[in-house]
Structure 1
Amino acid sequence: MATTRLMPLHVGKGRNISTAISDIIDYVENPQKTDFGKFIYGYECDTRLADAEFLLSKRQYANLTGRNQGADDVIAYHLRQAFKPGEVTPEEANQIGRELALKLTKGNHAFVVCTHVDKHHVHNHIIINSTTLDCQKKFRNFWGSTWAIRRMNDKLCLEHGLSIVENPKPSREHYGTWLGNKKQPSFQEQIRIAIDAALEEKPKDFEELLKKLEAAGIEVNRERKHLRFRVPGQENYTRCDTLKGDYTEQAIKERIAGTRTVKSHHTFSKKPVSKVGLLVDIEAAIRSGKGPGYERWAKVFNLKQLSQAVLYLKEHGDMGYEDLLEKANAATTNFNTLSVQIKDLESRMNANAELQKQIVNYAKTRAVYVEYRKAGYSKKYRIVHEAEILLHQAAKNHFDELGIQKLPSVKSLREEYTDLLEQKRKAYSAYKQAKNDMKELHNVRANVEYLLEISSPPLPQRSTEKSRQ
C-alpha cells in the first residue's frame, strides 16, 4: 500500500532558480536518509549533478522558446510516495517509484527517485524536472492529476503484490495517524483467529487441526520442545503457550475433545465471501499468498489482471459477491437487449432499402411492361425486352409478398431510412459501451471467483452475434 502527493515547486522568496533546485535535490539525496546513496536513481540525469542539469535545461528552454522563467512558474514537481510499514523493501520501493514516475512523465522528463529509510515507513521522494528532455515544453499539472496518480500508484502496488488504500486519508490527516486507524491485527491475534476458524470446522483430533492451520497459510513448527506458529509476514515464530487462555496446546486439545467449553472469540461466515465487500477478502488472499485458490489463480492469471479487478471494485464502490453477480447479470442482459435492438433496426433498414430498389425498378420498367401487355404477352416482344420484364415482375411479386396495396413514395422511404440509421447510430454507441461493461465485469468476476474459490452460477446466455468492428 502506498499513498501519494504531488507538489509543484516554485522559486520562492529570497531564492533564485539555482538555489531552489539545489535545496530540494540536496534534501532528497541526503545520504543519512538514503543509506549513503544506495537508494538513489536518476532517469536521464546524473544524480550527482541533477541540480545543475535541471538548471541547464531551463536555460536551453529559454533560448529555444524565447520564454523566460516567471516568478510563479513551476521549476519542478515533488512527488511523495509513502508505503505501509513492513510491506515493501527499500529496493522494491525504489523500483515502484521509478515505474510511477515513468508512467506519469511518459519518459519525457528527467527525474530523481530517492528512497528514504530513516523512518518507520519506507517512502520515496521523486523530483521531476518540469522541462522536457528536448527543452521545448513543460510538464503541466492537470485537473484530476491527484486521482490519476493515485490510480497509477494503486495499479503498480497491486502488480507488485501490495495492498492498496481503500479509503484515501483526508488531506489534513497525518499519515502516521491514518495508518494507525488502519492497523492490522497483531501476529498473535491472527494466529488466534486462525485457530478459532479451524475449530469451527470440527477437526477430529489435534493433528487434523494443525493440518487445517497449515492449509490456511499458518506455518507450524514442532522441531523444538514447544509447538510454534508463524503467519505470513511474521519473522519470528510464536510459541503456542504464549497465546495463553483458550489457545495453549492443552486448551486446544480440550476444546477439540469437548471437555472445555468456550465461546469463540471470533465469528466466521460459512459463505466463501463476506457480504461486506470483496476487497477485504481479496486483500486477505494476497497477504496470505497461499492456499489452493491463490495457487490455481496464479497459474491462469497474473497480478495485472487482478489489479484491474481490484481497481474496478475500488472505483465503483466495494461490493459483496452477490452484488457483483447481479451487476454482471444486468450487464449481460443489457448487452443482449441492445444486440437484438440493433439486429431489428438493421433488418428494417434492409427491408426499406429493398423496397426502395423495387419501387425504382417498377417505375423504370412500367412502360415496357404496359407495351408487353398490349402486345398480348408476345414471345417476340419478351425476347427483346426480357431484362426489363423480369425486373418488373420481380417488383410486383415483392409488393404482393408484403401485401402492399398502395406504394409509398421513395422520398418517405428515404426519410424513414435516415431515421432508422440515426436510431442505429445511437444504439450502437450504447452497444459498444455495454459490450465493454460486460467484458470488464466478466473479467472482474472471473478473477474474484478463481482467487476466492467461489463456485459460480451461470450468467445469462451471451449473444452469439459476431463482434462488430
Structure 2
Amino acid sequence: MPEQIQSASVIEKKKPSERVKRTTYPEKKSFRDDIKDAIDRILKEGSAKEFDELLYKLEDAGYEIKRGKHISLKKKDQKRFIRLRSLGDGYTEDDLKKILAGEMEHAFYDNEKAEKQPKTYQRKKEDHEFDLLIDIQKKLAQGKGKYYVRFAKNFNTKQVAKAVLYLKQHDIRSYDDLEKNVKTATVRFTELSASIEANEKRLAEIQVLKKHIFDYFKTKDVYADYRKCGYSKKFLEEHRQEILLHKAAKNAFDELHLKKLPKVKDLNAEYAEILAEKKKLYGEYRQVKKDMQENQRAKYDID
C-alpha cells in the first residue's frame, strides 16, 4: 500500500522589511474612565438625588472618598487618589451638583468614542460702546512723537463724539443727569452684588448642613454602639471614620444652635427658592453692570 503522507502547511520566513507591522492596539481603560463609568451608572439609575448620596453610592461601589477642598477618590488597586475636577466637564463637583439639581444635562461618557481634543483658549472680547480717552500729555512724557499726537487727538475727538451720541440715545441731557446715572447704577450694582453674595453663602450653608444631616443619620447606629460598649478604644479604631463623621455633624448642629434638625425636603425647597432668586438677580446684575460701565466711560470721556 502506498504510504499516506500527511501534508502540513509551511510558514515562509519573511524579511523584516516585508513583515506587516501592527499599527492598531486595543485601548487600555484608565482609572479615570472607570470612575466616569461608575458615576454614569449611578446617574442612569437615578438612585442619587443629592451630591452626597452620589458619593455614598460610589463608596458602596468600592471607592474610597477623600473629602476636603477638592473631592478625590480611588479604588483598592489604585495607588493615588484622583480628583473629580480632573475628570473633565460633566464630572467636576460643581457640574455634578448642577446635574443632580436639574440645572444641567449630563452627556454620558463613551470610552470607545472619546477622543482627546486640544484645548483652545480665546480671549474674551468685550463690546464696548466706546473706549477711554488717550492721555496725550502722559504719552508725550513717554516719548511719543508728533504723528502719535495727531492720531491721539483724532481718536479722542471720535471718542467724545461717541460719548455725546450715547448721551443722546439714552436721553441724558446734562452732566448732572450723567453723574446721577453713574451714582444710581453704582449703588444698585453694589446692592445686587451683596444680595447675590448672600444667596451664594446661604446655598453653601445648606449644602454643608445637608451633608452633616446625611452623615449623622448614616453613622447614628455605629455611634450608639460605640456608647454602649463604653467608648471602647478597639471599637473606635474599627469604626474611626464613622465616629468622626458623627461627631463632626453633632458639633456643626451645636454651633448652629439647632434644637431640632431641619428636614432635607425643607432644605431642598429653600435651596431651590434661593437659587431661583439668585438667577433672577444675576440677570439684572449683568445689565446694571453694563449700564454702570458705559455711564462711567461716557463721564470719563467728556470730563
Normalised by the length of structure 2, the TM-score is 0.49
Q: Counting helix residues as a fraction of each chain, which structure ranks higher?
A: 2
Normalised by the length of structure 1, the TM-score is 0.32
Structure showing greater radius of gyration is: 1
